[in-house]
Every structure is written in C-alpha cells, then in structure tokens.
Chain A
Amino acid sequence: MLDCGLDMTSTLNFLPLPLVQSPRLSNLPGWSLKDGNAFLDKELKECSGHVFVDSVPEFCLPETELIDLSTVDVILISNYHCMMALPYITEHTGFTGTVYATEPTVQIGRLLMEELVNFIERVPKAQSASLWKNKDIQRLLPSPLKDAVEVSTWRRCYTMQEVNSALSKIQLVGYSQKIELFGAVQVTPLSSGYALGSSNWIIQSHYEKVSYVSGSSLLTTHPQPMDQASLKNSDVLVLTGLTQIPTANPDGMVGEFCSNLALTVRNGGNVLVPCYPSGVIYDLLECLYQYIDSAGLSNIPFYFISPVANSSLEFSQIFAEWLCHNKQSKVYLPEPPFPHAELIQTNKLKHYPSIHGDFSNDFRQPCVVFTGHPSLRFGDVVHFMELWGKSSLNTVIFTEPDFSYLEALAPYQPLAMKCIYCPIDTRLNFIQVSKLLKEVQPLHVVCPEQYTQPPPAQSHRMDLMIDCQPPAMSYRRADVLALPFKRRYEKIEIMPELADSLVPMEIKPGISLATVSAVLHTKDNKHVLQPPPRPAQPTSGKKRKQRVSEDVPDCQVLKPLLSGSIPVEQFVQTLEKHGFSDIKVEDTAKGHIVLLQEAETLIQIEEDSTHIICDNDEMLRVRLRDLVLKFLQKF
C-alpha cells in the first residue's frame, strides 16, 4: 500500500470547536427542513446561509471496501502528511504487516497526530450527530452536506493510544537503503525534497522497476534536495502529490505573505496564520527572520501556539542529515540549521502549547500568531478567529493549500477581518514535472486523472496538465489498473561448487555455453541452482536410497546438446566419400533436402532441425546420423 493519507476536508462540514465558550456559536439557530420540520435542529446549525453539523468533527478514511486491508503486507509512507490515517488502518482492519518510513517522517507525523488528538480531545463534546448521515435524510440537506461522499464511513479522531500502537508498527528506513520484501521485490526510499524525511520510493525486482513519486519538490527549501537520478530507467512511474495550486508560485506567495503581514501590523492590526506545526512554517519563519528588521517589525512579537510547538521547533534542528546542504553545513560550525533558534533566543518568536497559561500573561498586540488547525474547525485558531474576526484591522493569512479558505471561513461569517490567501505549496508544478519526466524518461507514467486535463476552472490552460509521451495512464477513484509491463525473467543464483563443475565451450567469439544439470531450489521467491545429489552409494541402505529418490528427480544421463549448421555442399561431398551416389539436393523454403535416390532416403536439413527419413533401415539411419553429427558441435 502506497501511503495512507487522511481526508480532513470532511471536517469543514462541522462547526468549529471553540476553546472558550463562544456565545455566538452556541446560539446559532438549528436548521429545519423546508416544510418546517425541525427534527435535525439539534444536529445541524445554520450560520450565514451555510449549514454545519454540530458534533465532534469526523474524518473521511481511505477506501476500505475495495480490498481487504488485512491482506496488505507492507505500507510505504512518503511523508508525514501522508500517514495521518495510519491508526485507522493498523488498529481497526486486522492489518498485520509492516509500515516503512523515515525517522523524521515518523517523528513529525507523530507530532501532527498528537496535535490533532489534542485539539479534539481537549474540547470534549458530548454530542455525536448521526441522524443526518441517514441516506434518505442526507438527500434533503443543502449542499455541501448533500453531496458529501461515504458519510457513513466517516470516523471520529483516533486516540493517543491508537497512535502509539500504530507508530510502533513502523520500521525506520534511511534514504537509499535497500529493503527486501519477501525476496520478491526490493524497495528503496529516495529523498523527494518536499519535507523533512519525505521520500519517493523505488520498487524493483531484478528486471523491472516501478517508481512511486509522491509529494516532491525541486525548490531550494530546507529538506535534502530531490534525488532524481535514481528514478531513471523506470518501467513505470506512478506520479502523485503534485502542487494543489499550480498557478501560485511559492516565491511570489511568500512575498505576498510578508507584504500583507507588514501592512497589517504597521496599521496596528494582528495577523493570524493558520498552519500545521511543521513544514512550510519553518520556511516562513526563516523568511520573516530576514524580513522583520528590514520591515521595521523587530518589536512585533511572533507567537507559535501548538501542543507540539516546542517539539517541532526542536526536532527541526536535530535532523541535520535530512536537511539541505546549506543547513547541514551549519551544523558543523556549529550553528543551529534554522534561524528560528535565534528568533527564540532574542524573544522575537515565542512558543506556547496553548492559549491557556503563560501565553495569556505574555500576550501583546499587535502581534503575529501561527497556530492550527488550518481547517479552522479545531485548535487554538478557533479562539483567535472569534477574538479578532470583528476588526478590519486584523488579517488572517492562509498559507496551507489543503483547505478551501472560503469554506474554512464559512462558520465565521460575517467577518470583518481581512483575509489573504497565499497558498504556499512547494510540490512539483507541471513545468517541473515535464522537466523531470524528460530527465528521468520512464517508459510509462501512471497518475490521477486530474493531472491529465487542465483544471476545470481554467480549461484553456493546456500548460496545467501532464504532457508526456506515451500519454500518461490515468486512474480515478476505485479504478483497477494493470501496469503495462510483464515479469518475463527471474534471476537464478548458481552455487559456487556447481559453477565450478561447468565447462563452458565457446561457440561463437565471446559466447560460451555449458550444460547445467542441477536442482532448482525455490524458497521465499529466491531461486538457487544446487549441484545434483550424487548417485546413491550401492552400499547404502534401501530406506535411505528411497528417501533420496523421493527428494530429487532422477538424474538420467543426458544426450549431448548439439549446435552449429550443416554446410550442404561439404555434407554432400562427405556422403559421396562414404559411398553414396546419385545424390540430389533440392532447395526448400526453410533449407535443403538431400535426396539419396538409390537408397530411397531423404535428409531434410532446416535451420533448427534435421530429419533423416528412411524406411526401416536403422543401420543406414545411424550411419547417416553419425555423418550429420560430424558437422555439429556437441557439448
């Protein structure tokens, strides 16, 4: 199984979970059907024309109906965003396999899960809505609830116990490490340049190679650069995790982010940045580190609020081997690779686990707050939205591309604060993909259907799709694809003592042949040629002999193998020398027929066969056969 991401957009249908009692949210009117029937008014609330589920947020799980997940042997994880559904799979499907991921992926993935669990668990909500999920009722609901798919499979968030159990099933791997899977294939993670520890995977047998490219970046940000060279010579390249906002250039967006931030703060407003606790935030803090002095923002406090803020900032500094070259070299100076260390030291950046406690004492405005969750449905961000939403001096800047910012803002309407959308997605865009494919030249590309056509809103942008030859094989949800290659060969090992006994014969310059008589031993998808057992000793007991003959097939004395071709003219001369006369040669489409008219015999010589046809004269046939064999090599 390649990755197991969690679709969190389902949470956008739920009301936010406020940290502090919010009169506004708790007093929202219940929703009733057109005919005035109000049986759903406890479950569904209306806010500025949108309807939300008033319940603990639920998540959309990966597809579980198509295959039995207990039969999955291995899960390969590409980056920490793509493992958020892991506890659901490892703990509830009977999964007994192994999960492979790099160390930073696991550690930061754990932080993301921990934050998620914390956000949800610290605001316990007694109510759990399920009535609206009834298919007959769902039909009557307004969009987007009406169109939500697979609502019956939506699940509440997992617990920390489940997270720990899931993560214990992960086997840590390093870049370029070769991992044997049941002898059948070898898998290797490669740096994908997108996030700390993010990987692409190569799955290869001796003669076939499949590359799985997911969430990769060619930009120079903090992670180790993408390893492109190792992706060459792939039979199939499965391509996914491209940028979600192909028209937004990350550099331009960072500039936009900084300008809007400065503009707001200079006017005395506060800036709220809903974000994940790891990833782009490191780059943003680095940009701000360079920018704040030039923009005269040195006195503005930057707050990073997350239950895992401290761990995230500290983890980032210790994964030196997973960082880009520049940052790696800093470690040897020694200096912290990320400049946020200095921001913390100089008190420009302060981090807190939550808005409760120290934060409320230190809180100064105007300020910039980085906090989660980007969906604006849970986490400390909900509090700041409620707090700052009423003033047009404040600004919320969306940098994470995972959620539609308009949908995220829907339960906060009407909103006076300014909203800026600066999605920073460093993953591959289509220009980079086409360069990558030219460089790597896979025989076939497999990708989601969306990548093979321009985005629906910009149907004329032919540049916003994958353009490769042969055209990419596309798939959509629940499609079953047959990858366009066949396994034709297997590698067989030969034991040294058997190899020793071979006597190769050169049949052409540079090509030698030898016959091999051996036992083919196959175990765990490994094939080994072992020397055949010696013929049983005549002195050995009958019982023992029997057992041997059971184990290995009988080794008969083999006839020698023949090779070469028969030169017809010389053959005829030889026949004549041996007393045959009245020889006639006929050319046929496939070779020649030598007719010995006197002996009423026919020798049919073709490229890959020779037939001697004579009636009941075994002596003659053997004579002729020996003459034929003289022209052929035996081994």
Chain B
Amino acid sequence: MDPECSRLLPALCAVLADPRQPVADDTCLEKLLDWFKKVTEAESSLLLLQENPCLVELLSHVLRPQDVSPRVLSFSLRLAGTFAAQEDCFQYLQQGDLLLGLFGEAGTLGWAAWNVPTVRSGWIQGLSSLAQHPSALHFLADSGAVDTVFSLQGDPSLFVASAASQLLVHILALSMHGEAVEHHSPQGSAWPTCAQKIVGHVEESLRSTAAPQVTQALNVLTTTFGRCHSPWTEVLWEQLSPLVACLLERDPIPAGHSLVDLLLSVARSPVFSSADCGLWETVAQTLSRLSPTQAGPLALGTLKLQHCPQALRTQAFGILLQPLACVLKATTQAPTSPGLLDGTLGGSMTVDALLSSKSACAGLLCQTLAQLEELHPLPHRPSPWPQASLLEAVVTILQLCDGSAAPGSSVGGRLCGTLAGCVRVQRAALDFLGTLSQGTSPQELVPQVFAVLLEYLESPDSSPTVLKKAFQATLGWLLSSPKTPGCSDFGPHIPLFLGELFPVLQKRLCSPCWEVRDSALEFFTNLSRHWGGQADFRQALFSSEAPTLTQQLLRDPESYVRASAVTAMAQLSSQGLHATLASPEHPEAEQGLLREFLNILSADSEGFPRRAVVQVFTQWLRDGHAEVARDTEQFVATVLQVVSQDLDWEVRVQGLELAQVFLTQKLGQPGHCPYTVALPEAPLPRLRPEVLRTLCQPWLLEFAFRALFDCDRPVAQKACNLLLFLRDKTAPYAGTQETGDSPHLDSMEAALQRWQAGEQGQPLGDPEPEAMLAVLRSLDLEGLQGRLAESSDHVEKSPQSLLQDMLATVDILEENEADCY
C-alpha cells in the first residue's frame, strides 16, 4: 500500500466507525473493497493489518452493534472475509475472537441489523471470501455457520438466497478439495463431515414436498456440477440421482426448470463424458414427463451435447419438432414431406398446450422456433435434418398468423383463430424462415416460401418489426437461391418474384411509418450490393420507380431514413444503378448526387445522415469512384473543410478516416503488422516535391492538427494516429531540408499552442510543407497518444483519490449540518 493511502486510512476508519458520520455513497464502499482486494492479492494481509492497526480497530468496533450502520457492518464483514482469506491472517484475527464475533452465532446473527438484507449478504460474501483454507473449514463447522447458510437459502431477498446457495457449493468444493486427490472418489459415507452435512441437507430438501426447497436443492446441485469437475461429483450424482428420479414420479413435477438446468449441468460436466451412471435414462424419462414448454430447453441442451446416445438425441429432436408437427397435422390433410410427423407420439400434451390459451400457444411456438433456429447452424445438428418439413411447418405457421391458411381440422381452425395477427409468432417464424434459407431446400417449396414472404411484405397488417424481419428473410432467400447451371443469371423463380417485389418495395418506400421506409431502404441497399451486376435484377430495377423514390427519401423528415437513403443512393451510384445516372446522356446526374451529398453533409441538422455521407465518401475514395477519381484532392479538400466544422464527433472521426485513406493512397500502407515477419526494408523511394506539397496542404494538416486538440477523445486519438502515420512516412526526408527557425514555424507553433488552449479561431496560414513537417516532428505525439489512451477518469480512479473523496464528502456533510443550525 502506498504511504499516502496509509496516511489517510486511520481518518477514514474513524469516519466509518463513527455512526454520526454516515457514508453518503454505497459505491464508495464497493470501490474501497475492490481496492483492498487488489492490495491483499499483492501483499500479505497480515502485514497490512499489522502496519495499519486502524483496520483491526474498525473490525472490532463493528462488534458493538448499536454503533454501526448496516452498510458499514456489511462492508466490515466482507472486509474481514477478504483479510481472512489468507490463513496466517485468519489465525491472527481468530486470536482476538474477532471472526467468531463477526460470523459466529453470538455475533451479527443476533443483532437487529441482521434483518437488513445488505448485512446478511455481507455475511455470506465475507464467509465466501474467507473459505479458502482448511482452518476456515473448521471454523465454519464449529461456528454453526453452515446451518445458518441452509436457512438463508430460503431468504426473502433473492440476492441473499442465491449467494447462500453459491456459498454452500463453495464450502462443499472446499471440503472435498483434498479428498479426491488422496483417495480415489471415496464413497459418500467416507466424506468429510462438512460435506456430508451439506449433502444430507440437499437430500432432505429433495425429499421435501415443498417445491421451493426442491428448487433450492436442485440449484445447489446445478452449480456444483457446473463448477466442480472432480471425480467426487460422480459419486455425488450416483448418490443423489435416485432422489432426482423420484421427482419425476410426482405430479406435477416440482421445479421443472431447475430440474432441466441440473440435468444439463450434469450432462455437460466432463466427469460424465464417458461414464453412463444412469444420466441418460433420467434425461429420457424427464423429456417424456415434462410439459412441452419445459421439455424444450432440455431437448435443445441435449442436442447440443457432443456425446449423447443417438436414441436420446432422436427423442429430444422429436420433442423439439412436436409443436411444428402438430401444426402441420392440424392444417394439412396429407403431409407432403415425411420426417416431421413420424415421431409424434405423446403429441396430445403438445396439442393441449397449443390450444390452452393464446399466450401459451404463442409462447410454445416462439420457443420452438427459436430453439430450432439455434440448432440449425450447429455442425452436429440432428441428421437427417428435416429441412422440407420444417419449411412447410414454418410457412404454415406464417399463413395461420395472417389468416391465409385453410386448416383441414377443428384443431387447425382453433389454431388459426389463436394465431391470427400474433406478431410475436410472426417475428419468430420469419426469423427461422430466414435461417432456413441457409440450407438445401427442395425446389418445389421455394415458390411457396417466396409467396408467403410476398404476402407479408404486401400485407397492410404487417407491423414494422414484422416487415423488417420479412425483408431480412426475403434477402436471405434471394441471396441463397441457386443460380441456373451454366447461366450467369437466376433460376426461373427469381425474375417472377422480382417483378412482384419491386411494386411492394415502392409502396413500402412511401410508407407513412418511418421504420418501414428505413427497413425497405436497408433491404434495397443490401439487394443492390449483392445483385447489382445481375441482368434480371437490373431490368426489374430500371422498370421500377425505386431509385427515384430512394432519391426523394434523401429529403425525408426522419434522419434515420435520410441516412439509409444516403447509403442506398451511394450503393446504386457505385453500381451504375442510379436511374438517370445510368444513361450516358445525363452525366450531370452523378455530379448532382455528389452535390446533394455535400449539401446533406453541410446542412443536415441531424448527425446520422452526415455520418452516412462521410462513410460513403470514404468508401468512394477507397473504391476509386468515378466522381472522386476525377479530382481526388479537390474532393478530399472540400469534404474535410465541411467536416472540420461539424459538431458531431463521429462525423469528425469519419473525416479523419477519409484523410487516412487519402494519405494511405498517397504514401502506401501504414507500418508492418507486428505479427508478420518483417521483409527486408526496401530503400524508400524519394517523395516527389508535389506529393509532399499535397500531403502538407493546409486543409489536410490544419484539419488534423485541429482534431488533435479536439475536446472529444476519440477524435484526438484518431488525429494523433493519423499524424504519427504521416510523420513516420515522411521521417526519412527530415533533415534534408531543415527549415530551422523560420517565421512560418514560429507562427504555426503559436497557433497550435492557442488551439491547445481552446482558442480555435486563428487559422494556420499557408506555411511551407517543410515547416509543417518540422512542426509535426516537434510535437510529442507518442506522449499524447499515451495520455489519450488512458481513460478520462484515470486520475479519479486512484485509491488516494477515492479515500480523499470519501473524507471530503464527510466534511461537506458536516458543513451542511452546521449550516442547518
């Protein structure tokens, strides 16, 4: 601990011990505790206590309950635990019976403050920190703390209850720590007393008829198997699994969710990867007994396991598919694709769940669709994957949701009524449908998919979020649709679909709802990016009004839409898809677009469109867009001039990115990647004077220098990196034309100093490139980079500052108190 902190500590401890001086802020105590933890990790706790007796005094002081506020008591309990984590310090504190006073039955437990959840939480956390060594284990056993922890599992405060369960697991693991190494997985009866006590308690809870107790026991076990992967856990499971299995006999099954968590935790434990130990039977039994909603997560978890019997995987997959199978069964007379309807035994429970209420039905379907979506991209997903049936099912669900399905049974009719207009299910189904595009689907089903997607894109009832998902799914399907072999263009479905899609897209671009216009633009941009070169697409696009409408949206009242329109127009322009631009007789169209973008950049009142414009310009510069290539310097100069006036720091950062691209194009890539083997340095070609002059143009350097002193740190950082790059690239030419003490240099340095001081008014003038470079070299850019890299609160985060702040707060509180009287 540094001496300054040591000096401040007694005063602080005195403040903490004084009940008349309340600590204003809980977070201070948290920070203090974090600091102590850091200190004790680096130094001996014992030494710390001996050098700072005020700390022990503070701990002793809190033993007088009437004098301490609950938050200081909680803090002290946790502090004591932190110190006692080291065995020698533990012994030291034990000598004065301090620990027993704090954690024993005669201590905190009996005080009125025990009713405050913070104190109970502090007690548990203190013990958790303390329980690190055998002495602590004895202490826990002797002090009766374990029994208290048992009772705290049912604490009304969820934080306390959860921490109590965690502590039990921690104690169990600690007490078993040495055992497993010495004896190879001893039987339960030979376990240490403390472990036996905890296991006994868990067993008792599992036998209990009260669901909360069963849940507590299952949670303890879940954490145990999740954290401890020693051989003794196998013995523990052998001992407890019959009790767990007994839970399945009860009706209803208590704590279904916790049971699922436990089984998955056990199954994921590496200890059980090879051994059988009846786990899979229990999982299979649980799958068949739980309700479809509860069984879903277990089925998904099971399928995600690497080592799991095939029969169980089949059963689990069957459970996941059941709701979809029910939907198909209820709506189709004769299923067209086999696979989904085969294993639908026990489907009545699923049907009941689907029909019981609207929320249950939507909940089960959403869960199932999300689970299958999660499973879809996994390499070890069930095989064969019933792509066709899943497609059929999801298309049917979407049809049920928009009322276009014609169900063939009464169950189907009721499903139709339940799901009609259900946005939640629509969203989930469209998400899954989008995911299914990443697979090989039977060609005969693709038109159905496009038809239902078009229905959703067209429907006036599709909510903006549903539409967004429909656009995303459509994009997925369009991009994944196979091309006709031997032909550069699309298969038969796509041109037809595009013919219907563009009128819908046009309508959506005119929607009164800005979210819809935005999603439509995003979709249009993505589609153009991928398909801009395809003749079919170009044809459909040119025969539509979409490009004109997009251009009109550059003046949309909603800033997000304007930003999306900028991106979309840029995309069209890059690919020669801008309607008027495409015709060679209108060369002014592109200039018009550039002018329009520049106008947005300089005049738009919102940041998003301006950011979008700079991003587009940067991309155009990278790609050598025709308009930019005509006069790159002029282009960059104009843009940077506008950007430098922008109030939005993100726009300025983007402007620096543009400058970086420009410099890179002029000077070559920045330095070697640190991880690649450096090639022998080729002798650098000499920079031609005109290049040097370009690089040192005032518009470029003035922009960078101003940004260096920007009040927004990301801008300054970016500018610093840019100037470093420029300095490094021009370094070899330094000295050859040293300008010495030219008047230019003096005035520039003076200007920079004023900028640094916050006076940004004065321009840099028109100095010589050499003077620019000299200034560049004279700046301590590395130092500045280091300072900028530190977070803005690095000064305030120091422990001295914390201690001083806490003391200062007390002073202020005292002053306020004095004022009152």
Residues of A within 8 A of B (CB): 247-249, 252-256, 258-260, 262-263, 266-267, 287, 290-291, 293-296, 422, 458, 460-464
Closest to B419 in A: A463
Query: Smallest CB–CB gap between B337 and chain A, Å?
Result: 22
Contacts A263-B545, A296-B552 hold; do A460 and B512 have CB atoms under 8 A apart? no
Q: Which residues of A contact B421 (CB under 8 A)?
A: 249
**Which of B407, B460, B516, B545 meets A253, CB within 8 Å?**
B460
Q: Considering only CB atoms, which chain A residue lies closest to B407 in the complex?
A: A460
The interface residues of chain B, by DSSP majority, are classed as loop
Query: Is there contact, CB below 8 Å, between A294 and B557?
Result: yes
The reply on B420 being an interface residue by CB < 8 A is yes
Question: Inside 8 A of A259's CB, which chain B residues have their CB?
Answer: 507-508, 510-512
Q: Given A296-B555, A461-B420, A266 and B549 touching (CB < 8 A)?
A: yes
Give the tally of cross-chain contacts (CB within 8 A): 76
Chain B 538-568, CB within 8 Å of chain A: the 1/0 string? Answer: 0000000100110010011110000000000
Whether B766 sits at the interface, judged by CB under 8 Å, is no
Q: Residue B512 contacts which of A247, A294, A296, A458 (CB distance < 8 angstroms)?
A: A294
Given the interface contacts A249-B460, A461-B417, does A255 sit within 8 Å of B412 by beta carbon?
no
**Residues of chain B contacted by A422 (CB below 8 angstroms):** 460
Check B412–A460 contact: CB distance below 8 A: yes
Q: What are 13 A-B pairs at a CB distance below 8 A?
A: A248-B460, A249-B461, A252-B462, A255-B512, A258-B510, A259-B512, A291-B512, A294-B512, A295-B510, A296-B555, A458-B403, A460-B413, A461-B416
Among B406, B412, B514, B545, which residue has its beta carbon within 8 angstroms of that of A266? B545
Contact of A258 among B413, B414, B459, B512 (CB under 8 A): B512
Residue of B nearest to A295 (CB): B510
Whether B417 pairs with A463 at a CB distance below 8 angstroms is: yes
Chain A residue at smallest Cβ distance from B409: A460
Give A256 to B503 CA distance when docked, in angstroms: 13
Closest chain A residue to B462, Cβ basis: A252
Expressed in whole angstroms, the minimum distance between the Cβ of B78 and any Cβ of chain A is 52
Complex Cα–Cα for A253 and B516 (A):
14
In the complex, besides A255-B512, A460-B412, 11 extra interface pairs with C-beta distance below 8 angstroms are A248-B460, A258-B510, A259-B508, A263-B507, A266-B545, A266-B549, A294-B512, A294-B558, A458-B403, A463-B416, A463-B418
A462 touches B413 (CB 8 A): yes
What number of B residues sit within 8 Å (CB to CB) of A?
33
Give, as a whole number of angstroms, the nearest-CB distance from B327 to chain A.
14
- A residues near B514, Cβ cutoff 8 Å: 294
Q: How far does the Cβ of A425 sit from chain B's closest Cβ, in whole Å?
A: 13
Enumerate B497-516 residues with CB–CB distance to A below 8 Å.
506-508, 510-514, 516
B-chain residues with CB within 8 Å of residue A263 when the two chains form the complex = 506-507, 510, 545, 549
Give Cα A249 to B460, complex, Å: 8
Q: Which 8 A-B pairs have the closest CB atoms?
A: A463-B417, A252-B460, A262-B510, A256-B460, A462-B417, A258-B512, A259-B510, A252-B461
Interchain CB contact under 8 A, A460 and B513: no
Q: Which residue of B lies closest to A256 (CB)?
A: B460
Q: Is the pair B420, A463 in contact by a Cβ cutoff of 8 Å? A: yes
Cβ of B132 to closest chain A Cβ, rounded Å: 60
B450-504 contacts to A (CB < 8 Å): 459-462
Asked whether, in the complex, the Cβ of A462 is within 8 Å of the Cβ of B460, the reply is no
**What is the CA–CA distance of A463 and B513 in the complex, to the nearest angstrom?**
28
- A295 pairs with B420, CB closer than 8 A: no
Q: Which residues of A contact B548 (CB under 8 A)?
A: 266
Within B400-426, the residues touching A (CB, 8 Å) are: 403, 405-407, 412-414, 416-418, 420-421
Q: Which of chain A's residues have a CB closer than 8 A to the CB of B403?
A: 247, 458, 461
A-chain residues with CB within 8 Å of residue B555 when the two chains form the complex: 296
Q: How far is the CB of A292 from chain B (nearest CB, A)?
A: 10
Question: How many angstroms from the CA of A462 to the CA of B412 in the assembled complex?
Answer: 10
- Could you say which residues of chain B place their CB within 8 Å of the CB of A260? 507, 510
Complex-state Cα separation, A462 to B407, whole angstroms: 11
With contact pairs A259-B507, A267-B545, A294-B557 given, residues A254 and B417 touching in the complex (Cβ less than 8 Å)? no
A597 to B462, CA, bound (A): 93
| Contact indicator A266/B510 (Cβ below 8 Å) | yes
Compute how far the CA of A253 lies from the CA of B417 in the bound complex, rounded to whole angstroms. 21
B492 to chain A minimum Cβ distance, whole angstroms, is 28
Q: Report chain A residues within 8 Å CB of B557.
A: 293-294
Chain A residue at minimal CB-CB distance from B400: A460
CB-CB contacts below 8 Å: B142-181 with A: none
Which residue on chain A has the smallest CB distance to residue B512?
A258
Question: Nearest-CB distance from A393 to chain B (Å)?
Answer: 12
- Given A249-B460, A249-B461, A258-B512, A460-B416 contact (CB < 8 Å): yes
Q: Is the CB of B507 within 8 A of A294?
A: no
> What is the CA–CA distance of A19 and B90 in the complex, to the nearest angstrom?
103
CB distance from A269 to the nearest CB of B (A): 11
* Set of chain B residues within 8 Å of A258, measured between Cβ atoms: 510-512
Given contacts A255-B460, A422-B460, A461-B403, contact A295 B417 (CB under 8 A): no
Q: Provide the bound-state CA to CA distance between A256 and B414, in Å.
A: 29
Check A255 against B417 for contact (C-beta < 8 Å): no
A458–B405 CA distance with the chains assembled, in angstroms = 10
Known pairs A252-B460, A253-B460, A255-B460; A294 contacts B556 (CB<8 A): yes
- B459, A252: Cβ atoms closer than 8 Å: yes
Using Cβ atoms and an 8 Å threshold, which residues of chain A touch B418? 463
B558 cross-chain contacts in A, Cβ below 8 A: 294
Give chain B residues whose Cβ lies under 8 Å from the Cβ of A266. 510, 545, 548-549, 552
Assembled-state Cα–Cα distance A607/B416 (Å): 60
Residue of B nearest to A288 (CB): B512
Collect the chain B residues with CB atoms within 8 Å of residue A248's CB. Answer: 460-461
Interfacial chain A residues near B508, Cβ < 8 Å: 259
Q: CA–CA, A460 to B511, complex, Å?
A: 31
Q: Which residues on the B side are within 8 Å of A262 (C-beta)? A: 510
List B contacts of A458 (CB < 8 A).
403
Give B410's nearest chain A residue, CB to CB: A462
Closest to B405 in A: A460
| Interface set, chain B 502-533, CB cutoff 8 A to A | 506-508, 510-514, 516
Distance in angstroms between the alpha carbons of A253 and B510 in the assembled complex: 14
In the bound assembly, the distance between CA atoms of A461 and B405 in angstroms comes to 9
**Nearest opposing residue in chain A for B513, CB measure:** A255
**Which has the most chain B C-beta neighbours within 10 Å: A258, A259, A287?**
A259
**Residues on the B chain within 8 Å of A256, using CB:** 460, 507
Q: Which residues of A contact B416 (CB under 8 A)?
A: 460-463
Shortest beta-carbon distance from B401 to chain A in Å: 12
Give the CA-CA distance A259 to B514 in the complex, in Å.
12
Residues in B with CB closer than 8 Å to A247 are 403
B552–chain A nearest beta-carbon distance, Å: 5
Cα(A248)–Cα(B516), bound, Å: 19
Output the nearest chain B residue to A297 by Cβ-Cβ distance.
B510
A267 to B413 alpha-carbon distance, docked (Å): 43
Instruction: List chain A residues, Cβ under 8 A from B552.
Output: 266, 296
Nearest CB of B to A394, in Å = 15
In the complex, residue of chain B having the shortest beta-carbon distance to the beta carbon of A431: B421
Smallest CB–CB gap between B558 and chain A, Å?
Answer: 7
Docked CA distance A260–B511 (Å): 8
- B606 CB, nearest partner CB in chain A, Å: 14
Q: Does the CB pair A462–B545 fall under 8 Å?
A: no
Q: Which residues of B contact A295 (CB under 8 A)?
A: 510, 512
CB neighbours (8 Å) of B406 from chain A are 460
* Residue of A with least CB distance to B557: A294
Residue numbers in B under 8 Å from A254 (CB-CB) = 512
Give the complex CA separation of A450 and B460 in angstroms.
Answer: 25
- Bound complex: CA A460 to CA B549 (Å): 40
Assembly CA distance A422 to B459 (angstroms): 11
**Which chain A residues lie closer than 8 Å to B420 at the CB level?**
461, 463
User: Which residues of chain B are within 8 angstroms of A255 by Cβ–Cβ distance?
Assistant: 460, 511-513, 516
Most buried by B among A249, A294, A422: A294
Residue in A293, A422, A464 whose Cβ sees the most chain B Cβ within 10 Å: A464
Residues from chain B with Cβ under 8 Å of A294 in the complex: 512, 514, 556-558
- CB proximity to A under 8 Å, residues B72-95: none
In the complex, what residues of A have CB within 8 A of residue B459's CB? 252
